[in-house]
Structure 1
Amino acid sequence: MGRATFPRGPEGITTDWLTDAVGAPVSSFEVEQIGMGVGLLGRMLRVTLTGDGTTPSSIVMKLPTLDEGARRTIMKPMRFYEREVHFYQEAAHAVPVATPKVHFAEFDPATDDFVLVFEDCSDRRMADQIAGCSEADADTSIDAMVALHSHSWAALHASTYPWLPKYCDSPYPQAWGGMFKRGWPRAKEIFGARIPKQIRDFGDRYELIVQPYLDEITAEPVTFCHGDFRLDNFLFATKAEHAPVTIVDWPICFRGRGAYDLAYFISQSLTPEDRRANEERLIDRYLNGLTAHGIKYPRDQLMRDYKRTVAWCFLYPVAVVGTVEIKTERQLQLLQGMLDRSIAAIEDSAALEVLR
């Protein structure tokens, strides 16, 4: 579509555009910003609609972040916005996990602007990643991961979704490495004593692992990885008609080994205490789930991939702190929690030994 076909911000929303977007008459609307401190890469708006009996009472819109530095250094080179729009246009209906119904999805390659219009899922329960994941929610999340991964295990090719990358290919190693390099001095400044010497030494040489790790985690067999499989991106059922969990935020999806999502989720969404108590059980649940689908992921290979990914995930809080403007206390708490959990998981799993 042309550049004028969707609004670039709340000020550009009109009743005519909303009518076309949701496919039902809209006579008036009200806009509020939501999700402050939850998402780091975009803006979320809830739009309350007035229309007729076919008009939804509200919808949710996702728009680009106002942080131009983050757009320039993360979103555009990594093609995050373009990828998420493609996901909802081409893959959301095919993956065997629940995603929000999308009314409208469009991307402008000339400006890297986009808009997504979803059903309002506020009747689901959103957990709090800062507080940590309960055992029941962890089980539900692992089951959804098994469903996602088993659907396209060893059957996902470059031609399946041409927009779905392998992160070992240029420009992704350079972009990931560049984000860490920019963020590391700032992370040491902000987090200071939270980073023990062994981890600080690891951060100083982190750029050496980027290409080798990405080569290994994207070696066959690969599957459809969410890439940001964490608690803040899950909406849990509150009614019988809901799927057990609805998964949002797909801009980081890629072709890779399943251990990526598994290690990222367990190391980032559970408190260290809960992870230590449940880690082996959740890994077994994942492996048993794959086995039930006729998939063999040898445990020794899974654990190698898992531990290397635990170390890799140290990138996330570091890269975000160096490239995204932190505007709320919750964002800072989230990043501190991600850093602390990452360090604890690296130490507990001896992940640095596997890297050597």
Structure 2
Amino acid sequence: MSEPEGAPPAAGTGHVPGTGNGAGVDDVAWIVDDPHHVTPQWMTAALRRGGTDTEITALRHEPVGSGQLSSSYRFHLTAAPDATDPAPPSVVLKLAAGTPAGRAQIAPGYRSEVGYYRSFATGAQIRVPRCWSADITTDGHSFTLVLEDAHPSRPGSQVHGATPTQAHAAIRNLAGLHAPFWGQEGLRDTASWLRHSDEAAIGFFGELFATAAGPFVDRFGPDLSPSDLDTLHRTADLFGRWGSHIGGRHSLIHGDYRLDNLLFSEATDGLPTEVMAVDWQSLEIGFPGRDVAYFLATALTPELRRSHEKALVRAYHDRLAEIGVPDYPFEASFHDYRLGTLQAPLITVLGAVYATNEPTENSHRMFLSMITNACAAIRDLGTLDLLAA
């Protein structure tokens, strides 16, 4: 699970600090493992590196969030009064955490998150934190991000779900990631670390899903309806066919675009709700419908989804067109949404079974909410019928 971090600039204004693609930089001067090692001089240099000409004279920090393999700290900053640029009152540092074995396991995710800010943030039109500095060691086991503080924005809750207003803001925001990279060739040529889920990779995930389905049912089965259990078993049986159905379109996808990875600033004084996406450790080249379906199928109760899904997919489709995606009819967009729904049980089951942190009552409620919502969406949308045809 990810922790809150950063705050949104205008869409597409994330800074790309440093040089290169950010996936193998061994520049230890910019990388810290202990927040106590961050000095006013270090912070001054990091902010200047990212375009803010200021001088930090004092700072203090506190932990935020509850990450297991990464940690975030809010730094409160005091700046010299005669600085050229005003310093932000606070920033968030995100650092690697956990055991050496855990870091080695999550290293591809660390590379993806640092790489997104360095290689793709400025070209996207999705709201992300402003990033002053982003670096990772060559082995991928340590990294440091300096991000704008999001407070008082708050993360969504998988257990409580999204309101239609929040869902509308989130789905339009998602289009801002997909549209600029829609069908773009050579994405991996500019970022060798970037994963690509082709048919073979989807097949591998299908094997993992089938293996994890048993332990998942052992743990959650008593709380699942017979219909949900049947949907899970049928999904495991047909998952191997999914890859051949979703290879026709690609873009950059977030891979874990869910409520807990979104920060919302609620509407006030007639202004619209704003949302930003964090936690880019699952970034890859993939089928855009996976992000759309994963969000809508897990963020909304079945009743709300049934009432609003066509309007929400329409909002996503319209935003794609505004940004410049041609020749993509709404009917195709809705079909891709139906196909993408298997992303929801895939991530939910794997996340529950392979999570490194100990299960809690809150995590149990979260995964149960996600899987029941996802199974209802798969049945309502006839996704398994599309695979069986």
Q: Pick the TM interval, shorter chain.
A: 0.7 to 0.9
1:354 aligns with 2:386: yes
Whole-Å Cα distance in 1 between the matches of residues 220 and 104 of structure 2? 25
After superposition, residues 247-326 of structure 1 pair within 5 angstroms as 247-292=277-322, 293=324, 295-299=326-330, 301-324=332-355, 325-326=357-358
Partners of 1:168 and 1:211 within 8 A in 2: no
Cα distance in structure 2, aligned partners of 1:22 and 1:333 = 40
- Identity rate, percent: 26
In 2, the alpha carbon distance for the partners of 1:104 and 1:328 equals 34
Report the CA distance shift for 1:271/1:203 in structure 2 as closer, same or farther (over 3 A): closer
1:21 matched to 2:46: yes
- Structure 1 unmatched ranges of 5 or more: none
Instruction: Describe the SS at the equivalent of 1:62.
Output: strand
> Equivalent residue for 2:164?
135
Secondary structure, counterpart of 2:123 in structure 1: coil
Residues 341 and 68 of structure 1, relative CA distance in 2, 3 Å threshold: farther
User: In 2, Cα distance between the equivalents of 1:182 and 1:42?
Assistant: 27
- Is structure 2 residue 40 aligned with structure 1 residue 9? no
Contact preservation (8 Å) 1:272, 1:345: yes
Residue aligning to 1:149: 178
1:243–1:184 CA distance, 2 compared to 1 (3 A):
same
Q: How far off its partner does 1:329 sit?
A: 4.3
Cα deviations by residue, 1:300-340 (Å, 9 ceiling, x for unpaired): 54444323321232022211122221365443332222122
Q: CA 1:3–1:154 in structure 2 vs 1: closer, same or farther (change >3 Å)?
A: closer
1: CA distance between counterparts of 2:340 and 2:89? Answer: 42
- CA contact under 8 A between 1:82 and 1:112: conserved in structure 2? no
Q: How many residues get paired?
A: 349
Residue 341 of structure 2: SS of its match in structure 1? helix
SS of 1:259's partner is helix
TM-score (normalised: structure 1): 0.84
CA distance in 1, matches of 2:185, 2:330: 22
Q: Name 2:369's counterpart in structure 1.
A: 337
**Which residue number in structure 2 is paired with residue 90 of structure 1?**
119
> Aligned pair 1:57/2:86, yes or no?
no
- Cα distance change on mapping 1:280 and 1:48 into 2, 3 Å: same
Matched, 1:180 2:212: no
* 1:304–1:354 contact (8 Å) kept in structure 2: no
SS in structure 2 at match of 1:236: strand
Residues 64 and 216 (structure 1), Cα distance of their counterparts in 2 relative to 1, 3 Å cut: farther
Alignment partner, residue 109 of structure 1: 138
Partner letter of residue 269 of structure 1? A
Amino acid at match of 1:134: T
Bigger CA drift: 109-118 or 239-248? 239-248
How far the C-alpha of 1:59 sits from its partner, in A, is 0.9
Structure 2 equivalent of residue 163 of structure 1: 193
How many angstroms apart in 2 are the aligned matches of 1:127 and 1:17?
Answer: 33
Aligned Cα root-mean-square deviation (Å): 3.2
Deviates more, 1:232-241 or 1:121-130: 232-241
